[in-house]
Structure 1
Amino acid sequence: MSVPENIAQALTRGTHIPYVLLIFEAEEFCKLVMDESLMDHVTRVQSMYPSHTICYLTNRLTAYINKREQENYKNPGNPSGWKRPPVEQMLSKLTTHFVGVHSRLCTDEAELAEHVVGLTSSLASCQFRKKLTRLSVNANNGTLIPKDADRFLIKKSIWLKALIAIPKVQPRSAIAIWKKYPTMKSLLSVYMDPSKSEREKEFLLENLKTEGVVGDNRRLGEICSKRVYRILMAQHGTTKTDDVENGADFFNRQSQ
């Protein structure tokens, strides 16, 4: 079987992929959070690898925290004085306070190994794919945008294209969201606010006004609001988008 010349050349000379994966055991990561040194750690890593994407991967973090909390509950006089570290807030800050920094929580060594293998495979193969922008929805260049939408406005905005790419989110709904939250980061900052309940986040967008072509302005509605929240905040990539309204992923617990 013959190998295309461009691929053969890439395999021969090797390809540098600017990606850094940092793996932490739960106790080590919690110590970074409790010492309030996680943000400094991120800054140091970024200074060493300024053009790299960075991912903080933790192993058994949730299980470790739950175990320590149970120990404290059973033994309230525990001299260790261990307190639950604000890991959720810190993980949120990795997204809201930095560019190109991600996090991933793995439940055990098997999931950790699966993620590393999948990541390695994806990074190795992406060099042979057609170059796209940060969001693959940019590839359609606006050709799938309905005629009644502001085509010029949407074609210029990757964030608007990403919103329209969410199933059942109409272009005018996407524009209403974009007017209130002009960037993905501005919306995620609210979604990751630990002071807001899950119910508040799910219904965050319901009262935004959409503008119809004949002036029939309507509310975005709770169904669309919940769909956007659940898609953007999903924990599992295998979740089917049509299932989120029924509480798929981790949203099946009762909203607070």
Structure 2
Amino acid sequence: MQQASQAVDAEGDAPQHEDVPYVLLYIMGEELVALLEKDTLENVLARVAAAHPGHTLGMLIEGLHSYLKRRQNADYRRLGPGGGGFNAAGYEEVLARLVVDQPGVRHRCVADAAAAADHVSQLTKALATQPFKVQDSFLHQFGGSGKGTANVRATLARYPLRSRALEPWYHALSYVVDIAPGQAHSIVSQHPSLGQLMAIYADPSKSQREKENLVADLKPPGGTQRVGPKASQRLFALFTATDPLLPLGDLGFNG
């Protein structure tokens, strides 16, 4: 599946698109039963997994329970009680075993096409916001997802970010020594995610000096004071530190 990131590029407005490692297999109830009767469901799942390595596999099943009920009732009317007809309970058990035997496969049963469409919509929304939830969880460990000081809140109120999803990143940067709220705002506007900033810091084509001064010339909205080389170098040191025993305070972080 593909998501449109809430982050924007440096110039402007176009959303960035990136692939989400999730494959959704949409299947009707009668098709699933046919695969189970032929004992080929596991082969289908294996082929999908092989074609999309590293992806989470979801299986959306429409109308399974109604199909099982219709088929069981039809056999009951045709053969009578004890006639050895179709047994829906057996397929319910198979589906339950699927959860145990295929822990990497997520399955969801829905009643009809409308419910299926609603599930796809909700799933797409959840996948699109997941990267920001992961970032928020990481930044929270550094005290970066709180409301912050009065100056931090005032800057945000006067100069709203393009998306509220960027606010945890903004709050975290505001905790770094020598980076004022307005300067944190300018960094977030130019580098809208921690991952994007880290990718530049890890770029082997850039020199150490370029990385250390990456944000030095950025200016806050409505202001003229640059972030400056000292704060830029401190930020680089904070996010590229390799010594796990080094206190965050030594790297310039007010946690």
Interval containing the TM-score (normalised by the shorter chain): 0.3 to 0.5
Q: Work out which of the two has the higher radius of gyration on C-alpha atoms and give 1 or 2.
A: 2
Q: TM-score, normalised by structure 2?
A: 0.45
TM-score normalised over the length of structure 1? 0.45
